[in-house]
Amino acid sequence: MINFTKMHGLGNDFVVIDAINQNISLSSEQIRFMSDRHFGIGFDQLLLVEAATDDQVDFTYRIFNADGSEVAQCGNGARCFARFVRDKHLCDKEEIRVSTNSGILILCFEDDGMITVNMGIPKHKPAEIPILAAEESKFYSVDMVEERRQVDNFSHHVSQRAFGAVSMGNPHAVMQVHDIKTAYVLSIGAQLENHSVFPERANIGFMQVIDQQHIKLRVYERGAGETLACGSGACAAVVIGIEQHLLASDVLVELPGGSLKIHWSGRGQPVFMTGPATSIYDGSITL
Ligand SMILES: N[C@@H](CCC[C@H](N)C(=O)O)C(=O)O
């Protein structure tokens, strides 16, 4: 039997498991079963709280997508991780350091109950993202097929799509759209997530710029599909928007599940993300 807590960050939902006081070893098949919203518990990501492996950090933070793949970054999950270790009395520090497969994250409790995460320094070189491109660019482009429906008729249009790309510890592509409500998030998102230009697949953001300090964003996540919010996606959109001279250094990112505040002061600097983390219920499951 595994004890878990169901949590969410702006509707990006998680099963969080204490793997310090429980002996946990999950196959990707078991993770896929638990992520199923009809036959299992349902979640976008499963988060494991593990013991620190050195004295630089307080914990190890592991992340699995709903499709069972292990990944290296999850921003909304990081805020839930902080709330979980505090609620379960595993740590009472105001600032928590966790190691992930992509480096160290620093999680800080704010006076108003929000949590700020130092998400690390974004990486821009093609090999670091990774994206198959000869050189770094603010705009990459690939051919995409768009399916349009008119009454009973489907037509297919091939068009070039331009996007920015960055690693926030995980790979992101972000394209600007006129209106996120009408953007082809599911079809373009699924195609670009799995496009051969991304050897490790990618998370795909659709960004509508309202003004220099405000964007609307929908994210089609690698290994999970469209989610109500994506923390690393919000950071990636702001970094790419700043690189493309569209945004200022403090941006409110409005996602379908709510808003995040993102701050980035430019190349070589870490990105800071502030937002809520909510516990829904404790449960247990026998696999
Ligand atoms: N929801 C996350 C990102 C989770 C991982 C992502 N799907 C990936 O495969 O890299 C967030 O809030 O950052």
What's residue 239's pLDDT?
98
Tell me: ipTM over 0.90.
yes
User: pLDDT tens across 215-235, in order?
Assistant: 999 999 999 999 999 999 999
Ligand 1 and 259: CB distance under 6 A:
no
C-alpha span between 258 and 230 (Å, rounded):
10
Confidence of residue 112 (pLDDT cuts 50, 70, 90): very high
The distance between the two most distant Cα atoms of the chain, rounded to a whole number of Å, is 62
| Atom 5 of ligand 1, nearest CA residue | 74
208 CA to centre of own chain: 18
Q: Model's pTM, two decimal places?
A: 0.96
Ligand 1 and 262: CB distance under 6 A:
no
Per-residue burial over 171-197, b if 16 or more Cβ lie within 10 Å, else e, is bbbbbbbeebeebbbeebbebbbebeb
Positions at the binding site for substrate: 12, 45, 65, 75-76, 170, 203, 221-222, 231-232
Range in 33-42, 109-118, 146-155, 206-215 the model is least confident about: 146-155
Q: Which atom of ligand 1 is nearest to the CA of 172?
A: 10
Positions at the binding site: 12, 45, 65, 75-76, 170, 203, 221-222, 231-232
Strand-pairing partners, residue 220, are: 204, 226
What's residue 148's pLDDT?
73
Ligand 1 and 100: CB distance under 6 A:
no
Q: By C-alpha distance, which of 30, 32, 54 is closest to 44?
A: 32
What's residue 150's pLDDT?
75
Ligand 1 and 169: CB distance under 6 A:
no
Q: By C-alpha distance, which of 161, 157, 82 is closest to 115?
A: 82
> For 2-120+276-285, which CATH superfamily applies?
Diaminopimelate Epimerase; Chain A, domain 1 (3.10.310.10)
Confidence of residue 28 (pLDDT cuts 50, 70, 90): very high
User: Of residues 74, 80, 91, 235, which has the active-site annotation?
Assistant: 74
User: Of residues 80, 91, 108, 230, which has the active-site annotation?
Assistant: 230
* CATH code 3.10.310.10 for 126-269: yes
Q: Is 80 part of the annotated catalytic residue set?
A: no
Ligand 1 and 167: CB distance under 6 A:
no
Q: CATH 3.10.310.10 occupies which residues in the chain?
A: 2-120+276-285, 126-269
User: pLDDT tens across 174-199, in order?
Assistant: 999 999 999 999 999 999 999 999 99
C-alpha span between 96 and 216 (Å, rounded):
30
Range in 153-167, 219-233, 258-272 the model is least confident about: 153-167
What's residue 62's pLDDT?
98
Given a contact cutoff of 8 angstroms between Cβ atoms, the answer to whether 192 and 179 are in contact is no
SS3 sequence of 41-59: CCCCEEEEEEECCCCCCCE
What's residue 157's pLDDT?
82
User: pLDDT tens across 140-158, in order?
Assistant: 999 988 777 777 787 888 8
Pocket test for ligand 1, best of 8, 10, 15, 73 (most atoms within 8 A of CB): 73
DSSP per-residue string spanning 94-157: SEEEEEETTEEEEEEE-TTS-EEEE----B-SGGGTT---SS--S-EEEEEEEEEEETTEEEEE
**What does the mean pLDDT of the chain come to?**
96
Q: Is 214 helix (H, G, I), strand (E, B) or coil?
A: strand
Q: Is 230 part of the annotated catalytic residue set?
A: yes
Reading the block at residue 167, the tokens are 């690693």
Query: What distance in angstroms lies between residue 219's CA and the mean position of ligand 1's atoms?
Result: 10
Given a contact cutoff of 8 angstroms between Cβ atoms, the answer to whether 218 and 156 are in contact is no
